[in-house]
Every structure is written in C-alpha cells, then in structure tokens.
Amino acid sequence: MKKIDSDTLLTLYESAFYVRTVEQIIADNYSKGLIRCPTHLSIGQEMVPALVSHFNNNNDLAVSTHRAHGHYLAKGGSLPLFFDELHGLKSGCSAGNGGSMHLNDKKVGFIGSTAIVANTIPVGVGLAQSLKIDGSNNFVYIFLGDGATEEGVFYESLHYAKLYSLPCLFIIENNEFSVYTPIQLRHSNELKDKVNGFGIQYVFNDNHNYRSLYGDFLKAIEYLRNGNGPFVFEVMTHRHREHCGPNYDDELGYREKEFLDKWESMDILDIFMKDMLLEGIKQVKISNSQNKIIERVTKAFEDSQNLANQIIPDPT
C-alpha cells in the first residue's frame, strides 16, 4: 500500500472538507427558494473527489452524472460559477441553463454532466478516442453510479474502449441504491465478473479505504498514460441525504439501521481526521484549514445569492 505523507493527507482532507462544505451550504439554503433546480447532493461521497482533486490535470477530461457537484469541484471547477449555475444565473458555468445536473467547464476539462442515467458514458468513450487519435497521453474520467451499470450502453462502452485500447478511467461510485431499490434486487452477479469478462483492469474499494485507492490511482494513471487501455474502479460509498433534494429520508425505512450505522462509523471526514491526528498534524492547523474553507465557500455562496436576489423575484 502506498505511503501517504502528512502533507498529502491534509490536502486530501481539505479537498473532502471543501466538497462537504459546499454541499452542506446548499442543503442549508435550498428551502429559501432561490435554488429552484433539482439537486442531487453527494454528502458522504467525498473520497473520490478528494483523490481526483489531488491527481487533477486540466488536460485530462471528465464526464459525470446527475450527482456531479464533487466531480466538478475536484476537476478545478469555479466555485462562483458553480453557485451561479445553481441559482440559474447567466454567469453560471452553463450560463444558467443547466442547473445542478448539467455542469460544464472546458477550461478545467469538465466536459459535462447529465441527468440521463448512463448518458455520458459513451460521450466519455468518444472523448477518449479523440485523445488517442490526437496522440495525447491524457485520459478521460467517466463517473457513474451503480444504476448506470444496468444500462446496455455501459457494456457496449466497455467493449468499445477495450477493443480500441482507449484511455478511459471508469469510476463507479456504488452507493448500493437506485433511488430506493437496493442493488441486491437489481443485480444477479458481481460487477467484477462482468468487467473481467471484457479483460479490463478492475479495482474494488470498500470501507472508504483511501490509502488503497490512492495507490490504485497511481497505478491506473500510469497505465492509461502509457496507452494500455481502459481501467475500472468500483468504489463502495454512501450518500447521507435523500436521492434528490437536501433532506434526510431515513424515516422511509428503505435503508436498514445497521446499514446506516455502518456508514456513519466510516464517514470519510472522520477517517481523515483520525489519521491526521495519528500522523501528528496539530488540531489547530486542521481548524485553520477548515475555517479558511468555510469562509471561502460562505462568501462565494452569499455573493451568488445576493446576485440572485437582485434578479429573481422573492418566491414568497
């Protein structure tokens, strides 16, 4: 397992805390009526964005899903443009036309996200083919959820990417539920078996084991830059909030208490915090980082909200 030094550990924590802070301020303010687009929060799923942010190269490309906030921010997306997009402002990253689920920012290689399940998977494969034709050693992040692995286009895309040795890093964030339906009722066998059937490199990550995933990122990035073809990560994770919206929905009972308790005990921010303290990083240094992030996010959100208040009639 790759050794992670204390500076890198703090950087990973800061990236995860940043995404969590952004999502939390959206949840806290959604009911004010200025954010009118449906929003799918990724609170609890910050591990992958933290690692993507650490390894980010703006010349690498990315496509994502309806739950794309963390991916956009990890690719270096503009926080003011992001908040403006959620407020439906022309200054947003998609000119106010896309909202939460349709983000794009070519300056940082974030080519787009979409609400249609599995829709960006073949787009990402096409982008990867264009990179290969151009002789580039860059690659494409293709973010998807477990629900997208039930669409035929996922397997067609795996086949095509393998056939032409395309530089695609498929990252499946498996939170085990498609809205309210558990994966056990939707899959007849392990995803690993299906991916292996295409002869594609596959990595499974569970229990928010970021140290293992860090090493896997190093291996996959080298593999892709050397032109060896696609790579698949399946990362088990957990969304704390409802499928769509800012609230909790645990009262519906579709996720067992044992399941919720398990993931609460493995909150990625808590794991990072524990390990930072064990590595000798002082609490005051961590608190200073937290405060700077909170200040930055709060200001960006308030600036965007104030601008929206000037343009959008009071919904009350």
Domains of the chain: 6-308 (3.40.50.970)
Q: Give start and end residues of each alpha helix (H) in 41-190.
A: 47-54, 69-74, 79-86, 120-133, 152-163
Q: Which residues contact 62 (CB under 8 A, 6 or more apart)?
A: 52, 71, 75, 109, 110, 111, 124, 140, 141, 142, 143
Q: What is the pLDDT of residue 136?
A: 96
Q: What is the pLDDT of residue 316?
A: 55
3-state SS assignment for residue 245: strand
Q: What is the pLDDT of residue 311?
A: 81
- The token duo for 124 is 């990402």
Q: What is the pLDDT along the chain (316 residues), one digit of tens a residue?
A: 668 999 999 999 999 999 999 999 999 999 988 898 999 999 999 999 999 999 999 999 999 999 999 999 999 999 999 999 999 999 999 999 999 999 999 999 999 999 999 999 999 999 999 999 999 999 999 999 999 999 999 999 999 999 999 999 999 999 989 898 888 777 766 899 999 999 999 999 999 999 999 999 999 999 999 999 999 999 999 999 999 999 999 999 999 999 999 999 999 999 999 999 999 999 999 999 999 999 999 999 999 999 999 886 655 5
CA 211 to CA 223: how far, in whole Å? 19
Q: What is the pTM of this model?
A: 0.95
